[in-house]
Structure 1
Amino acid sequence: MNEVSALSDMIQLVGNVGFPVVVALILLIRYEVRMERLEKHSENLSDIINELRRDIS
């Protein structure tokens, strides 16, 4: 039922602000999620590098 509501909201947005704006919003949301994942992975990588440096020293 939640998917139907989301689809209805999307259709309403397209009618109100236009297709290009809706597409831009969707892409920005997806980009934000990917950037958060990238940030998390880079923090993990940084921690691993620091551990390796301690082990070598």
Structure 2
Amino acid sequence: MATNPVQFIQQVRSEVGKVHWPTRREVMLTTVMVFIMATLTATFFFLIDKIIQLGLGAVLGV
């Protein structure tokens, strides 16, 4: 069932009105949390990589 452009715009406006938009504080908190988690993950994998590198170095005698 096709709708005309006017109906489509009305439906879009209606749906946008239902969206819960986050507050500035919520956006800032989630952004900070993403940076913290990315840093922790990068540190974790760096340490695991170094441990594997040391283990392989010891086994291969390099």
Shorter-chain TM range is 0.5 to 0.7
* Pair 1:37 & 2:46 matched: no
Question: For the pair shown, which has the larger CA radius of gyration, 1 or 2?
Answer: 2
Report the count of equivalent residues.
Answer: 40
* Pair 1:47 & 2:50 matched: yes
User: Unmatched 5+ residue regions in structure 1?
Assistant: 1-17
TM-score normalised by L of structure 1:
0.59
TM-score normalised by L of structure 2:
0.55
Query: Partners in 2 of 1:43 and 1:54 — Cα distance?
Result: 16
1:13-33 CA-to-partner distances (Å, cap 9, x unmatched) read xxxxx8533212210101101
More helix by share: 1
**Which residue identity is paired with 1:23?**
E
Higher relative contact order (CA 8 A, sep 6+): 1
The Cα of 1:42 is off from its aligned counterpart by 0.9
